[in-house]
Structure 1
Amino acid sequence: MAQAAGAPAADQDADRETVRTVYDGARGRMFQAKAEDALASPTLARWLGKIQLVFTSPPFPLQRKKKYGNLCGDEYTAWLAGFAPKLKEFLTPDGSIVIELGNGWNANEPTVSTAAIKALIAFQEAAGLYLCQEFICFNPARLPTPIEWVAVRRTRVKDAFTRVWWMSPTPHPKADNRRVLTEYSASMQRLLKKGTYTGGRRPSEHTIGERSFLSDNGGAIPPNVLIPPGSEAAALDAVLPIPNTVSGDKYHRACRDNGLARHPALMPEALVEFFVRFLTEEGDVVLDPFAGSNTTGAVAERLGRKWVAVEANAAYADTSRVRFDPPHPTPAGPKRRGPKA
């Protein structure tokens, strides 16, 4: 791996101790390190200004500690905001940062914590980023949590969505919704087949032309609420399936069969794929500084994008290789240069 120009030998040695190459993919590399160490290291310096998309889901600001680590309240807000300026340095001029954060509840009471919202705002402001759009990722199959207030006392309904913020240093980042069109609804397909539409002025005061909805553009533009079809909310004309209940996929099977450590908070592949397709093109580079089981890298490689992944937990980083076919081996011998950016 190329070192930053002029970096002292002692600094290079220290960097090798804190940033370890776990495996090389066909289009990317998995590193094991704390995100803050990796982003400040000479090892990742070669990707400064070359990342088209940072897609990540950092540990959520939960009240109950998880194995993968999480902070709470103001401490969490300051921690997450601290990454913003550095991640901005890695972006291309028209690059994007997409962060998924779940909701949290205040300890010992049925009230929602605003920590996640505050953290997202602090992150945006710390790097002077534009909020291009907010998405809601709805998963109706989530467990009825928080259990005490939803399933025992029954004074709340279950929390079933996460916020996804799309940010960029420019108000006009690279994006094309034609790459994420969904199948037309049955009613839209009938309309296109019929070839006629009743236009005119609507109660909303919008005027609809007689042929406004008669063009077949190859699919429907998805909404910013990402919902699995077949759910109660599937009345939307176009939805993107984002279930996260898979337990029999290749990753889970390989972990079970080989007694490997499984990450407890997996990223839905469909969510990663949506933003990789929407905000990047083949050959672009995608970075995930909180890679977990490396869903981001696996999806990016499958879609012909280059990728860089960082995970602090050595077991999770190592196990993530099973997402690839065949599983990527550990580099042998001297450190090799990573895939060209």
Structure 2
Amino acid sequence: MTKLFDHLSSGTVLYTTEVGAQLCGESQSLLAELPPESVDLFITSPPFPLLRKKAYGNEDQKEYVAWLTAFAKLAHTALKPTGSLVIDIGGAYQRGRPVRSLHQFRALIAFIDELGYFLAEEFYWFNPARLPSPIEWVNKRKIRAKDAVNTVWWLSKTDLPKADISKVRIPYSDSMQRLLRNPEGYYRPKDRPSEHVIGSAFGLDNGGALPPNLLVIPNTESNSFYLRMCQYLDTPSHPARFPSALPEFFIRMLTEPGDVVVDFFSGSNTTGKAAEDLNRRWLAFEKDRKYAALSALRFLEDQPPETVKKHYESILAGQKMELSAAKPPQSSGDAEARRTDEPSALF
């Protein structure tokens, strides 16, 4: 069976699982080699055009839109007609001024006007745990509020991409739970001032409430297996990890089991691990070999530290590895990573 990554000669396969593969290489070249209309969902968080250069690389604000649009153009070709591109873009200030850059909005307009994407919906990721920033305007001068929201664009190739919001229902509020326990005693249908009528169906239990487009997800990872193993290996973790709840939300909403999910700025491969856990096939592209190799830690949680170290060092040295799936093993031997030159059939 042909594997999707067999088409990708520009990158090096560092490791595979039963349903995914991590590649190291330039993402533009890898995107260009994806077969047309082969991907159900692209979800990624590109380096932001920050004023201070980061270890993982970030583009200058003036060149950012053209740089990012080149990736989005290649993704458009590889995307299925019913597929989606979800891109998380943080905000930034202009250099030396307490006024905002418009890079994420200019990028959105370019995606739509130049590439033919449709804006299915805008989402906002609120991270209540984010530290006050930027220091100059928030901490020192105290003339701006802390920047705690990222824009997340959900883009599509058609008006009606594959989507099911009922797959990402959220827990009911306390008041709604009281209503469900006693609909007639807690609420009586009536006309609202807007003349919108809420009937008795309002008291039906649908298994949870439909979510808003404000996603409240704290980014508070501090003691995960990934971070503990980075410390054990005495190796810096990737500095810009987003919480797994973010890709999980969109993977659940926009794909089905067996669909193909791709992250072309994969970093520590949070997206690939989320896709693996949700039984989606996945590809991850990362140009920094060390970060790409470290991302294998996410798939080795059932291994002792000394085994994790051995696998990480093998991958970093150029040994392609086949790692076990994220599902619980049937026996101790099933969880062991296997060295291979021929990964199991994917896609």
The alignment's TM-score, normalised by the length of structure 1, stands at 0.86
Equivalence for 1:254: 229
Separation in 2 of the partners of 1:56 and 1:336? 28
> Is it true that 1:340 corresponds to 2:328 in the alignment?
no
Structure 2 residues without counterparts, runs of 5 or longer: 322-338
Matching residue's letter, 1:295: T
Equivalence for 1:213: 202
Aligned length: 313
1:90-239 correspondence runs (5 A): 90-196=78-184, 197-209=187-199, 211-227=200-216
Separation in 2 of the partners of 1:310 and 1:134? 25
Matching residue's letter, 2:156: S
Equivalence for 1:9: none
Equivalence for 2:48: 60
1:293 to 268, 289, 299: 268
Any idea what the Cα deviations from partners look like across 1:24-46, whole Å, max 9, x if unmatched?
122110000111121123xx44x
What is the SS of the residue equivalent to 2:201? coil
2:30 to 38, 41, 44: 38
Equivalence for 1:275: 250
Separation in 2 of the partners of 1:59 and 1:301? 24
Separation in 2 of the partners of 1:170 and 1:339? 31
Any idea what the Cα deviations from partners look like across 1:206-260, whole Å, max 9, x if unmatched?
2222x03111111100110012xxxxxxxxxxxxxx1112111011111011122
Equivalence for 1:306: 281
- Sequence identity, in percent? 46
Equivalence for 1:77: 65
Question: Is the 8 Å Cα contact of residues 101 and 164 (structure 1) preserved in structure 2?
Answer: yes
Separation in 2 of the partners of 1:296 and 1:311? 12
Separation in 2 of the partners of 1:276 and 1:2? 24
Question: Is the 8 Å Cα contact of residues 84 and 124 (structure 1) preserved in structure 2?
Answer: no
Equivalence for 1:232: none
In structure 2, the CA distance between the partners of 1:90 and 1:199, relative to structure 1 (3 Å rule), is same
Separation in 2 of the partners of 1:243 and 1:68? 22
Question: Is the 8 Å Cα contact of residues 261 and 319 (structure 1) preserved in structure 2?
Answer: no
Question: Is the 8 Å Cα contact of residues 55 and 296 (structure 1) preserved in structure 2?
Answer: yes
1:323 to 291, 298, 306: 298
Equivalence for 1:29: 21
Give the alignment's Cα RMSD to 1 decimal. 2.2
In structure 2, the CA distance between the partners of 1:192 and 1:122, relative to structure 1 (3 Å rule), is same
What is the SS of the residue equivalent to 1:105? coil
Equivalence for 1:239: none
Tell which deviates more after alignment, 216-225 or 319-328.
319-328
Deviation at 1:61, TM superposition (A): 1.6
Matching residue's letter, 2:277: R
Question: Is the 8 Å Cα contact of residues 18 and 344 (structure 2) preserved in structure 1?
Answer: no
Structure 1 residues without counterparts, runs of 5 or longer: 5-11, 228-241
Separation in 1 of the partners of 2:277 and 2:345? 15
